[in-house]
Structure 1
Amino acid sequence: MTLKPNYSYRAREVAGESHVIKSELGIFKSVRALAKDTRDGMRVTFEVVPFEILRGVELQGLEAVPAKVVEETFRPMMGKPINSNHVSGAVEYFKAYAESKRGIDSIEGISLLEEPSDGVLRLGFVDVDINDVKVEIDPSIDAKTGKENKVLSKVDSVMPYFENIKTTKVLNGMRVRETIDRFRAQNPRFGEPQINMLPKPGPLGKRTLLVSLKEKSMKGVTCGGGMSARGLSEGIFSGIAGHFSAFHTNLFGQGKMLNLGVEATPRKGGRGLTVVRPQVNLQYQDPWVGFGPTRTSRAMSVRSESSSMRSTHGVNSTNVDGDQPDITSPGLSEMSLQRLQTSVEHSRPLLNGWNGMFSVDFKRTGVLDNDGNHSLFDAYGAPVTFSGTKCDTALAAQMRFTYGGPNAAQLMLSAEQALPVQPQWLNYTRMVAKAKRSFNLLSVGSLPGPVQLVLSSKGGSVVGDLPPYEAFAIGGTSSVRGYNDGAIGTGRKYVVGSAEMRVPVTPTITGAAFFDYGSDLHSGGSVLGDPAGTRGKPGSGYSYGVAGMFETGGLPIRFDYAKNDQGNARFHFSLARDFN
């Protein structure tokens, strides 16, 4: 009470006191000030009407909050006078709960349906319903003239991406973000989509979403040079690369994409010559075939690839100090894998975070020496192709299923079957599985995020024809750190596991300590030519170390320092948040 005897007050101050009593206590339905003249002055009496005893609750339109949560929230209030402050607190809790589930505040209106004269509190909630979705496309700007270009994209090539927002009816922020992320990944012809909710005449809660898109440059040519990933593990000269690319991201105005990429890397050949073997990749992508209900995408590609075979066919050479042999050094002859491949791939989202992919690949693979000539044997006289000819040929069908869930949970299951259409073609079955999950261990107030434990594992097996270059190479940056690539083993089977403790230092810097283990499960001897046994690879090994991860404008950079069970230490560098 702020009113005191023997003081003068205006009528609005007395009325304000009535409001304070009602709002702060929350237990009165109404508060009225009654003034009466007396011999000693004005007497003010506050007449109050208490709320009824709460006997039940009925909520309409609150679909995002389970009945159990509602019951637990109102249970302490039952059998007591209704308190408007407690009810308001419950309503705010329900709104926060709905926002946590939907990723957005989707409750637009709350009303008392009728007076609780019988002790039953009846509240009505109005969700924001998506009544319509509209798309606007703004033109790109010509870099030379500064004028707007003609809009090349058709609205009907964009609208299907956002139809699933409208089918949810109730506004769901997580669904909107998921839709935007998928749209961005499949449509590089546009910049960042802007989402606005427009009011629309009509019933409360009915809204129209406006998606504003801005076109980017849809075709072009780029060229340049730099350092490829090969230079990090094989020396600076092997990592120098020049590249040329041409692209079009909006064929036929339907968002279909065509890309041509050529990369050339020099290599030291025999007799002091320099050999340049270009890699060519021509790819056509349709991010949504016919805008069908399954959201299937298609990719067709033809590519010529060249890669090092150090991880499998490196030659033993003793270090300068005479200590640990480098079992993956090139030795006298640097062999490379040359592959010509054409593929057709279809992929589509499945239910509950799953995605599926099916592809058919035709591959011709050969091994070249320093001078670009085909090799049939490595430095130890072991065959490098399964067929014994210059090239192995395979026609393979592959199915892959991936899952992404909460707590950064990831799962990948893959099965590949080679089809021996011709007697000399490869016939094998390859199965691979990968899994990863993170756990929040504790939160420290001084740190920008929780301390996490990240567990990851992967393994695989091949049954049937297995060329040495298709065997699983164990050890290296993406396997067991502290070892060179393939230094632990080359097997028909393998398993690799890692445990990593991560501590965020700043929002952009994270430190970690890790332990890795990998094994070929005693399958190295079953690989043609036994490249692992010939080179004395141990077949299993572990390592431990520390890592630093840096976020630089969306580009993750990672440094690892690991020491293996042989006592050797090694630095690793990668452009990824996770080592595998």
Structure 2
Amino acid sequence: MRVSKLTLCAIGLISASELAQKATAQDVVIPTESPIVETKSLSPRTTPEIIKSAAPTVEAIRPMPKFPRPSIAQVTLPAPVTPVRAQSIAQTPSRPVPVRPPQPQTPADLVLTATDVQIVGASPELQALVRDRIQTQPGGNVSTPQLQRDIATILETGLFSTATFTTRTNPNGLSVTFQVQPTTVRSLNLVNAQALTPAIANQFFQSQFGAPVSPTAINASIRQINDWYRQNGFNLARVIGVIPNREGVLTVEVAEGTIGNIQIRFTDEQGRLTTDKGEPIRGRTREDFLRNQIQLKPGQIFQEAAAREDLQRILQTGLFTNGRISLEGDARRTTVVYNLTEARSRAFNVSGGINSDLGVFGTLNYSDNNFNGVGQQLGGNISVGTRDVQFDGRFVSPYRATEPDKLGYSFSGFRRRGISRVFDNDASELLNGDRVREGRFGGTVAVNRPIADGWDGTLGLNYTRISLRDGDGTIARRDRNGAPLSFSGTGIDDLTTVNFTAVRDQRNNPADPSSGSILTLTTEQSIPIGSGSILSNRLQANYSQYIPVNFFNLERTQQQPEVLALNIQAGTTIGDLPPYNAYTLGGPNSVRG
């Protein structure tokens, strides 16, 4: 059968159109699923980044791309057409190259709305902490750089070993999930700690080792350490902060009140540091001497008990009536200031008069309890009259606990005469009716130092020549009843003794006590040499108690307290007892024994 050329051309066109439609349908790709976002875990050495798939990570819903289909009207046939079979027509055309639609790129700083923010892998306490730190919040804007900054912020807390995030698009924006891994506490690192040792600190954090980090537990341990500081006298010490890291090490930084400097300031009786002219008040006491009394040193940890001991040691020198401690600076570097009020330590008097022993006389008196500014005592008086010359001088260098290898020492010399306190009644008058004058001339040398806890000991050598005279200075051997006045019977005795004294002084201030007590025990052994050859041992005890009172309902102050003083004495002599060494009790009527 013959087929016309027009029929064959129509068949060829229809077959080509169908093949083109099939090829086009096979090559068009339409996205139907949401894009997939991959994430990487972050470490401090890598910059947070987001790895995206080929498809856009976040994009608005787009209409399905449309492609034009070829039509017969668009096909132009060549003029000469060669007849071919239908079977070969379908196999002859080459396969058209598929064409993909252009893929739009999402900008890195694209900002969307965070519809939901979740934190997983942590306790509610840590979740709340993360929410307070990160910028991404529900209802707020979110972008890739912001999420990267949030991850860095989470890791900077040191509370988490790892932190990642994932996102998921939804019709209203972006859902964000932060995946965190809390740090496990493994050890402590103490910073600036001297008093607080690692062993003590570990006791307060023991329950946290091997467990996830907990800010609440850390705060409880901080309170326990601060309580330990207070209970042990470190009043300025405290924990400044605890810094965790991703390796599980808690760095505990403390400020223990390290002493940076020690200052000494002098005040007046009203506690002022300057005079009316604005000039600082200057003291006589040498600063190097005072610093020797202070055991606290720069670089040590401030302890209130140690500072009070230093202040008490300064007051016990007897050079100050009042003292207080003030602190300047902060807990990292503290300046300890000793504010001291000096007592009146120096006096000079000139006087004169007339009496039966000296006649017309003049007297010079000088005393200084802070000689050379180091607490040494120098004093003396001299009386020059028409009938006699008398004097009394002494020098004392006290023992200082801050110089344990140095003994305290003293020496004195005297020449004095006056009416005897023993021979002061009518029965002891002389034959000429005069009262007995007792004259003493001699000197003493002594050394002292502590002998036990709270006890000071003094060992001395004394020499005294005792003479009994009448009003004209003539030696008197017996009273009017014939009783000898001296042990030798000549009216002159030589008394050489070695004495030992133990003192327990618990007064708050030796110069002006308002509380405390002092106990003195003395034994004095005479050596039988010189006139009289006296051999005896004299024992004495003296106790004084100072009790603060408020009998007159006056405001009590440290400057002017009311004090009740009680005193009791006892003594005896074993061996020879010269008449002039008899014990005297009471007022004008003495008791001899």
Aligning the two structures, in what range does the TM-score lie when normalised by the shorter sequence? 0.3 to 0.5
What is the TM-score normalised by the length of structure 1? Answer: 0.47
What is the TM-score normalised by the length of structure 2? Answer: 0.46
